[in-house]
Amino acid sequence: MSQINLSAQLVRKIENIIKEHDESVEDPGIVAQYLAAVTGFLLGEVDMPKPRKAELLEQLKQFSQYVCDDVEGKKATQISENEEAMGVWKPGS
């Protein structure tokens, strides 16, 4: 896969565009559903053999899981660092 420049700012802009398009969207899962539909729509328009599209969709699924795991890991690290910075007492420390 190619290198991409993903940022929280870009993600929020995309999220806001979706929410402007469909004002009833409040659930982040629905925003993700829109993004999945856009991916399918874009690939549906591309002239590419069906097996290649299926392969690409599988790669995108794996990449999405990697990004999700990475973001969750960074959140857990930030929470852990914040707890230590706030002076939370831990037995044995």
31, 18 contact by CB (below 8 A) = yes
Q: What are the mean pLDDT values of the chain's consecutive 10-residue runs (93 residues total)?
A: 87 96 94 96 96 96 93 78 54 55
| List of residues 6+ apart from 88 with CB closer than 8 A | none
pLDDT of 2: 78
92 backbone φψ class: left, alpha, beta (φ>0; ψ -120 to 50) = left
pTM of the predicted protein model: 0.74
